[in-house]
Structure 1
Amino acid sequence: MDAKLEKANEALLKEFYNRYGGFWRFPEMLDYCYLVNPYFNRSKIIAEMQEFFPILVSEYPSGMSVNSKLASECWNVNPDFIIPGNGAAELIKVLMENINGIMGIVRPTFEEYPNRLTENRVVTFVSDNRDFRYTADDLIDFFERHPVDSLLLINPDNPSGNFISYEGLLKIADWCENKNIRFVLDESFVDFSDGYEHNTFIRNDLLEKFPHMAVMKSISKSYGIPGLRLGILCSADKSLIAKMKKQVSIWNINSFAEFFMQIFPKYRDDYKKACDQFIRTRNDFEIELKKISFIRVMPSQANFFFLEVLPPYKPKQLCAMLLKDYNILASACLAKKGIEPDKYMRIAIRSHGDNEKFIVAMRNIERGL
């Protein structure tokens, strides 16, 4: 591909990437860039929210004390251990402002955390295998040799899809507690993992056992409601949680997000069914993706796949073709650190019907149509 065309492709992709959402303006476009549960937002919970729309749009939301209680009832934790936020993004910003010293991270990763730090405050672990797989022992061994004050782990990781088991996380959490290291666990994608109900660390007993640990969860991603802007952070470090509650704005949760938390307990079974359906969909999608000759699919326990793009294509070229010819937006991982440039892409996992459209597009590209 000549340099002029490559530059044009990158400009086209950035035009959409730099919007950071708002894709309802393009109703015919399939968004394979942002990572959202495709099934739970079909639950009757949405119909109930629609019924109350006129009231919710005209009324102020409650303050932090009420919303903390609602969040504690939704996720079964002590209200003093939990802070709801205007999406995980708000909580990441405030949390990082309260973390001192050197932070250990794994790359490639979700850069919102390290972007809040100067480079001299970041120590990076990069897996030495082509699938970007790593274990609890790999991390402990590395950070034993490269001391840090805090350790960030996104599990399942973004974009690699790497997953450390519950037992592995216990080992990391115990090691961090013994070393007086703040363990920041982002489990925004854990509900997409096999056996998800047993993989979460948002539990009072675990939070109390590891008081230096803070667990982040993006409700937007797991529950398919990014427009509501809702996330939670949990920790038995009551002083940290109390301080953060004072640092966010007085009405950091809007009325729609508050109402969602108010009625969610009635729809727990719907949510479990949505997660189970998603796992089946992911398995079906992986089988079909592996039949495409010019991509290598890495294992994933999340709601996305990390792909190595093979000759004759490159990610920017392929993503531009998908967008221009098939109205499909996928991530060419332009801003990801810790990976070779223009070699990998990440695709979301959507509904079964949408995934079929993606596969058809890839097969057409493979045949040169």
Structure 2
Amino acid sequence: MQAIILAAGMGRRLRELTKDVAKCMVKVNGVPLIERMLRQLDALSLSRIVIVTGYQGEKLEQFVQSLSIRTELVLIRNTEYARTNNIYSLSLTQEYLLQEDTLLLESDSIFEEAVLKKILSHPYPCLALVARPESWMDGAVVSLDEDGNISNFINTRNFRYENMGDYYKTANIYKFSQRFLEQEYVPFLEAYAGAWGHTRYYESALKVIAFQERPVIKALELTDERWYEINDIQDLDIAESIFATGEEKLNRYMRRFGGYWRYPRMLDFCYLVNPFFPNERFMDEMKANFDTLVRQYPSGMGVNSLLAGKYFGLRAENICVGNGTAELIKSLMENLEGRIGMIYPTFEEYPHRKKEEDILPFPGMGEDFAYNVDSLMRFYEEKEIAAVILINPDNPSGHFIPREDILRMADWAQKKGCRLIVDESFVDFAETEVSNSLLEQELIDSHPSLIVLKSISKSFGVPGLRLGVLATADRELVAFMKKDVAIWNINSFAEYYMQIIEKYKADYEDAMVRFMDVRRRYMRKLKKISQLKVYPSQANYVLCRIESGCTATRLADILLNRHNILIKDLSTKTGFEGGNYIRLAVKTDEENDAMVAALQEVLG
């Protein structure tokens, strides 16, 4: 068995990174792609490794010769790299293709050792490694017959997104038998290049072979094995996070603040979304209007205030719509003068928008992270403050205060001459017999010191739409904030969501009933893990303290690296004083069971 690596390309999409070096010389976490690949192949006892160079070929050849690779290296220069494609590079290796079984690889791929072991250990002589495609992936896509044979290579012109479920993306790693190469592929490759020239891809010849009546190449699907194809700067960034190790991998994931759809096999227990809403009917309606919404401007703040007010039963002059609550928090906090009372630990967007000297923390939090409005009012009664911020249920503890108590505190704030800011982004998850939302016109009118914020992302399960609202009787504040944010601060999809959401109120309520049932089962299972202290929660997350020798950071590291599960490590969060605390999202039963199983394995 030999390996052939195609490495002649220029890598233009990597811009300045390939200005002076070949594409495969780009480093992933400090190691050039070609070095990583060569060391993996060197461990396989191959007869030789053939590398076709081209762009910056001399530099590349000097580098690979300096690596002390034990396997024989054969270097072939494609001097026509600027005018040809990889079908020509492969044709330059014809002498070697005819001699023995071959692994064919492209040099811009990165993969773990398990990938090569998988294809080499499979007995079938001609294989292509494939994986389920994602919409951002480039390169060859194939379809399979019922026996797993490649039946077609799908080009860009014939690709149909509605058929994504039937496609597979090639990982650009093939295993070919000498017999296939000698009797079928090499002769056809030569004839194809003669007829169509050298500007095609080698998959073009494979495509014609795939149409034969007798199947030749089988697909071998990658499932949990890590691999990535690097074509541009974003690919490089994702590859560096996938192939990072230890705490560095965890740090890279956390610095992304989302966008985890690019890691389709990862379970995200860090970011908080309702797993049961929106339902399929709602999504179908959104999809049905996609073409119109993507081509049309959204309305301005006036119309969107009417839409939000309609759903929550509020007048438009009392409500402001934001690009998520994050936009509203920024506007509110940066324009709120005076000291602010805060309860730590808290949602960090609030303290991040103020100077440390402008924050007066509440010191009465006990070991159970529980508190009541009476203790808050006693502490702040004699303090000079402009506002007190109350997140209910609390983030990240899940501690909950009933509405009647919050209204008592709102009356207290009115008498004291300060504001009470209540973030009720998670209040719909609270399991009570009556509604605990403060978003009611009569209630807002009767408590002029009250400011209520609500994230639509959390309970309604649409974080990608970036929607949040702020409501208060203070019309001057609302008017100011509407001018402070951008005129088109939400997009047409978010606006359409507000237009249709009222039709789905009953579905939403059903989803919440289902959620509460799932949360109860989840918490029962978590409490059976003796090394975890599980705190009561009325939110869509659970606060836990690790009581074994494992630290929170170490646990988060292990869960990500071994189980591909992302959790929130709270050890550096203000209010936990370096304690071993973690926050776990509540998801579906199946996902929750995977979380519990992983915790049991790691913690015993």
TM-score strictly above 0.5: yes
Given the alignment of the two structures, is residue 188 of structure 1 paired with residue 444 of structure 2, yes or no? Answer: no
1:31-57 deviation line (CA, Å, top 9, x unaligned): 000011111123411110011111111
* Conservation of the 8 A alpha-carbon contact between 1:190 and 1:196: no
Letter in 2 for 1:238: R
* Conservation of the 8 A alpha-carbon contact between 1:303 and 1:348: yes
Flag the 1:335–1:59 CA change in 2: closer, same or farther, 3 A: farther
Structure-2 separation of matches of 1:249 and 1:128: 38
The share of aligned pairs that are identical, in percent, is 44
For structure 2, the residue ranges without an aligned partner over 5 or more in a row are 1-244
- Where does residue 3 of structure 1 map in the other structure? none
Structure-2 separation of matches of 1:238 and 1:110: 26
- Where does residue 538 of structure 2 map in the other structure? 301
Q: Which of residues 538, 553, 564 is equivalent to 1:327?
A: 564
Query: What does residue range 329-348 of structure 1 map to in structure 2 within 5 Å?
Result: 329-348=566-585
Flag the 1:281–1:126 CA change in 2: closer, same or farther, 3 A: farther
Letter in 2 for 1:155: N
Q: CA RMSD in A?
A: 1.3
1:184-220 deviation line (CA, Å, top 9, x unaligned): 1000000000127520100111111111211000001
- Where does residue 410 of structure 2 map in the other structure? 173
Query: What does residue range 166-245 of structure 1 map to in structure 2 within 5 Å?
Result: 166-195=403-432, 198-245=435-482
Letter in 2 for 1:51: A
* Conservation of the 8 A alpha-carbon contact between 2:319 and 2:471: yes
> Which one is further off, 10-19 or 60-69?
10-19
Given the alignment of the two structures, is residue 96 of structure 1 paired with residue 333 of structure 2, yes or no? Answer: yes
Structure-1 separation of matches of 2:433 and 2:552: 31
Letter in 2 for 1:181: C
Q: Which of residues 333, 339, 343 is equivalent to 1:106?
A: 343
Given the alignment of the two structures, is residue 151 of structure 1 paired with residue 388 of structure 2, yes or no? Answer: yes
SS at match of 1:41: coil
SS at match of 1:286: helix
> Which one is further off, 147-156 or 35-44?
35-44
1:332-369 deviation line (CA, Å, top 9, x unaligned): 025410112141111111111110111111122234xx
Q: Which has the higher helix share?
A: 1
Q: Which of residues 348, 355, 368 is equivalent to 2:592?
A: 355
* Conservation of the 8 A alpha-carbon contact between 2:438 and 2:452: yes
Instruction: Choose 1 or 2 for highest CA Rg.
Output: 2
SS at match of 2:577: coil
Structure-1 separation of matches of 2:594 and 2:383: 46
> Which one is further off, 330-339 or 300-309?
330-339
Q: TM-score, normalised by structure 2?
A: 0.59
- Where does residue 256 of structure 1 map in the other structure? 493
Given the alignment of the two structures, is residue 65 of structure 1 paired with residue 330 of structure 2, yes or no? Answer: no
SS at match of 1:104: strand
- Where does residue 4 of structure 1 map in the other structure? none
- Where does residue 289 of structure 1 map in the other structure? 526
Structure-1 separation of matches of 2:355 and 2:335: 14
Given the alignment of the two structures, is residue 123 of structure 1 paired with residue 360 of structure 2, yes or no? Answer: yes
Structure-1 separation of matches of 2:486 and 2:473: 22
Letter in 2 for 1:362: L
Letter in 1 for 2:265: E
Structure-1 separation of matches of 2:270 and 2:591: 13
1:298-343 deviation line (CA, Å, top 9, x unaligned): 1111110111111221100111111111111000025410112141
Letter in 1 for 2:492: S
* Conservation of the 8 A alpha-carbon contact between 2:550 and 2:603: no
Structure-1 separation of matches of 2:572 and 2:491: 31
Structure-1 separation of matches of 2:384 and 2:410: 15
Q: How many residues are aligned here?
A: 360
Structure-2 separation of matches of 1:316 and 1:270: 38
Structure-2 separation of matches of 1:76 and 1:118: 35
Flag the 1:17–1:84 CA change in 2: closer, same or farther, 3 A: same
Letter in 2 for 1:312: G
* Conservation of the 8 A alpha-carbon contact between 1:332 and 1:342: no
> Which one is further off, 315-324 or 140-149?
140-149
Structure-2 separation of matches of 1:261 and 1:53: 15
SS at match of 1:113: helix
* Conservation of the 8 A alpha-carbon contact between 2:427 and 2:539: yes
- The structural deviation recorded for 1:126 is 3.4
1:251-287 deviation line (CA, Å, top 9, x unaligned): 0010000000000011000111111111111111110
- The structural deviation recorded for 1:146 is 3.1
Flag the 1:239–1:213 CA change in 2: closer, same or farther, 3 A: same
SS at match of 2:268: strand
Letter in 1 for 2:510: K
Structure-1 separation of matches of 2:451 and 2:433: 19
* Conservation of the 8 A alpha-carbon contact between 2:548 and 2:603: no
- The structural deviation recorded for 1:297 is 0.4
Letter in 2 for 1:285: Y
| Structure of higher RCO (CA pairs closer than 8 Å, 6+ residues apart) | 1
Query: What does residue range 27-42 of structure 1 map to in structure 2 within 5 Å?
Result: 27-42=264-279
Structure-1 separation of matches of 2:583 and 2:519: 14
Structure-2 separation of matches of 1:357 and 1:20: 23
